[in-house]
Structure 1
Amino acid sequence: MSQEVQDTKIENVIIIGSGPAGLTSAIYSARANLAPLMIEGEEAGGQLMLTTEVENFPGFEHGVTGSELIGVMRKQAERFGTRFITRNVTKVDFSQRPFKVWIGDKLHLAKTIIISTGASAKYLGLPSERTYMNRGVSACATCDGAFFRNQEIVVVGGGDTAMEEAQFLTRFASKVYLVHRRDHFRASKIMAERTMKNPKVEVIWNSEVIEVIGDGKSMTGAKIRNVVDETVKEMPVTGLFLAIGHKPNTDLFKGVLDMNETGYLVTQPNTTYTNIPGVFAAGDVQDHVYRQAITAAGTGCMAAIDAERWLEGQESH
């Protein structure tokens, strides 16, 4: 088969991104005989690959690691005929159909596109933070909070998410230090007041975490610097939760698809339709509210059904 013939094949559906949203849409569209092509990216599997234990995904009563869960989903998608390319999409053109998707200089064409490129938690950018990732450092309180029973921990942030995470973590931790680099929160008043009234939460104002300390195996403390007087103190905390926001992975689609002010793709209510007919979005790339593996999988299922029905509608014209 010559290169040219191969390139002119028009896929029914190309799925960009391979977390629970993308893989669920692959399972559904593959079972609908759409023979999906998934471009899973070089960081295949998404945020779940960064979590150790997942205890809240239905069907795994003893929990499952993030990478195991992704592995099982990927095999399931493959079993029904999904094809995978483990590279990053470098460019798209959705201005006309068939839609164009490039990986380097290789062009792929598709009748429909499902975007499930997810979001990435924002980190402080400390080398020590990377060292103790999943060994004390986390970007998801609902995922990891239960592993910190009766421990003293730090939450970094000043928005509503930080307030929610701090509140949530007081169910497990004996003490939550909320570290914020300013002298006031940007969170809503009601959330800020509720957090400050919580006896288990202590706010450390005008401060930032400058180093995560550990024994090589797990985190044993954090160095906190006061940004006003530059004093540094070491705190014996065993957990560091980052609540400084997420960044949706939507740079590829700037100027092409409708986004909100923080870059999340906007989908039409109760659907996965973007502003371009035939292009759908699922998972954390369009969900800044729930951000769970199970909700991502749910919208992945919706996207596959939306794409399949849209294709049927096109073919019947």
Structure 2
Amino acid sequence: MPAKPEIHETIILGSGPAGLTAAIYAARSRCCPLLIHGGQPGGQLTTTTVIDNFPGFSQGIDGPQLMKEMEEQARRFGTRFVEGIVTRVELKKAPFKVWVDKEKFFCQTLIVATGAVPKMLGLANEWELYGRGVSVCATCDAFFYRDKEVVVVGGGDTAMEEAVFLTRFARQVTVVHRRDTLRATLPLQELARRNPKITFRWNALVEAILGDREQGVQGVRIRDRESGATEELACDGLFIAIGHTPNTSLFAGQLDMDSEGYLVTGKGTETNVPGVFAAGDVQDPDFRQAITAAGSGCMAALQAERYLETLPQEESP
């Protein structure tokens, strides 16, 4: 007779701030949640340098170090970790099924914290200079550009919000947009247009980032889409604000999503499937901060615990 497979009370997908915070809370309240790392262990923060706005670190902390500390904390409370990428999930009924390659795991509750990835420009050195002048988050990094000149790429709400926020610190903000009209809502357009620190370069593309890892971003080369003429524009930072892609393709047809692919949550972190919760950037198109991701990870773990309390004895798959 085959051995009865183990049914985990909670499986967590993702090891960024949301996933690791969920693991810490779940491990402290119940025994041994299982966390599956995913394709980018530690999440987006592992690609950043100093984080100055995460509470508790008065002198700042490197992104990879923060994630290492959070993982060690989760391990200390009994979280078990699996290295690998989830290739399939089945959420029709509990226990839910999660595949990592050919290995199958079962769980009574699932916390989805798979995050989102920023849309980039596709330039050769953009990742090399990420955190060294290239950024996708003004709220995170604007402080470092006090009295400096920066470029923002994009024409939607996010780009206008980033540009306006940057004017609190930067001396000059240049918005480079590939069209001659903005996609942002009218109030945000007007707010940006009225700001004396913001200038616009219309029908233009950033086709190269000037700089290296030692010196950081020194400027960008932009190309006029109509004339084809190119020009080098000196700047100290490049903020790419053309959107994010949530990592939700696994859940298509099983969990409700909005038009952009973000998971839709109701009360707190609840999805449309009872026992499945979503936390962090995978369900947050607006804030995308480490601290808000961590907070929603806490909420997901607490809601998963309350859900588990309502269940009868575990069933066999």
TM-score by length of 2: 0.96
1:241 is aligned to 239
Q: Deviations over 1:142-182 (max 9, x none)?
A: 11111112111100000111011001111111110000000
Trace 1:84-103 onto structure 2 (pairs within 5 A): 84-103=81-100
In the alignment, is residue 297 of structure 1 matched against residue 294 of structure 2? yes
Q: Deviations over 1:113-139 (max 9, x none)?
A: 000001111100111212211111111
SS at match of 2:311: helix
- Aligned residues of 2:129 and 2:212 also touching (Cα < 8 A): no
Query: Once the 2 structures are TM-superposed, how far is the Cα of residue 42 of structure 1 from its aligned partner?
Result: 3.1
> Aligned partner of 1:264: which letter?
Y
2:266 is aligned to 268
> Aligned partner of 1:104: which letter?
D
Change in Cα spacing, 1:215 to 1:46, as seen in structure 2 (3 Å) is: closer
Change in Cα spacing, 1:274 to 1:172, as seen in structure 2 (3 Å) is: same
> Aligned partner of 2:255: which letter?
L
Give the distance between the partners of 1:33 and 1:21, measured in 2 at CA: 18
- Aligned residues of 1:7 and 1:107 also touching (Cα < 8 A): no
Query: Once the 2 structures are TM-superposed, how far is the Cα of residue 300 of structure 1 from its aligned partner?
Result: 0.6
> Aligned partner of 2:223: which letter?
R
> Aligned partner of 2:37: which letter?
E
Change in Cα spacing, 1:142 to 1:5, as seen in structure 2 (3 Å) is: farther
- Aligned residues of 1:150 and 1:172 also touching (Cα < 8 A): yes
SS at match of 1:314: coil
Change in Cα spacing, 1:24 to 1:214, as seen in structure 2 (3 Å) is: same
> Aligned partner of 2:151: which letter?
V
Give the distance between the partners of 2:75 and 2:3, measured in 1 at CA: 21
- Aligned residues of 1:39 and 1:85 also touching (Cα < 8 A): yes
Q: 1:226 aligns with which of 219, 224, 244?
A: 224
2:144 is aligned to 147
In the alignment, is residue 50 of structure 1 matched against residue 80 of structure 2? no
1:259 is aligned to 257
User: Structure 1 stretch 252-261 or stretch 131-140: which is displaced more?
Assistant: 131-140
Q: 1:190 aligns with which of 184, 187, 202?
A: 187
> Aligned partner of 1:192: which letter?
Q
Q: Deviations over 1:266-316 (max 9, x none)?
A: 0113x1110111111111111111111111111111111111110110138
2:5 is aligned to 8
In the alignment, is residue 202 of structure 1 matched against residue 190 of structure 2? no
1:21 is aligned to 18
> Aligned partner of 1:221: which letter?
G
CA RMSD of aligned residues (A): 1.5
- Aligned residues of 1:7 and 1:108 also touching (Cα < 8 A): no
1:30 is aligned to 27
Structure 2 residue ranges without an equivalent (≥5): none
- Give the ranges of 4+ consecutive aligned residues of structure 1 lying more than 6 Å apart after TM superposition: 4-7
Give the distance between the partners of 1:7 and 1:228, measured in 2 at CA: 66
2:71 is aligned to 74
Identity %: 53
| Number of residue equivalences | 313
- Aligned residues of 1:136 and 1:219 also touching (Cα < 8 A): yes
- Aligned residues of 2:132 and 2:213 also touching (Cα < 8 A): no
TM-score by length of 1: 0.96
Q: 2:274 aligns with which of 253, 256, 277?
A: 277
Give the distance between the partners of 2:161 and 2:8, measured in 1 at CA: 43
> Aligned partner of 2:229: which letter?
T
Give the distance between the partners of 1:245 and 1:222, measured in 2 at CA: 20
Give the distance between the partners of 1:107 and 1:83, measured in 2 at CA: 15
Give the distance between the partners of 1:28 and 1:230, measured in 2 at CA: 55
Change in Cα spacing, 1:312 to 1:223, as seen in structure 2 (3 Å) is: same
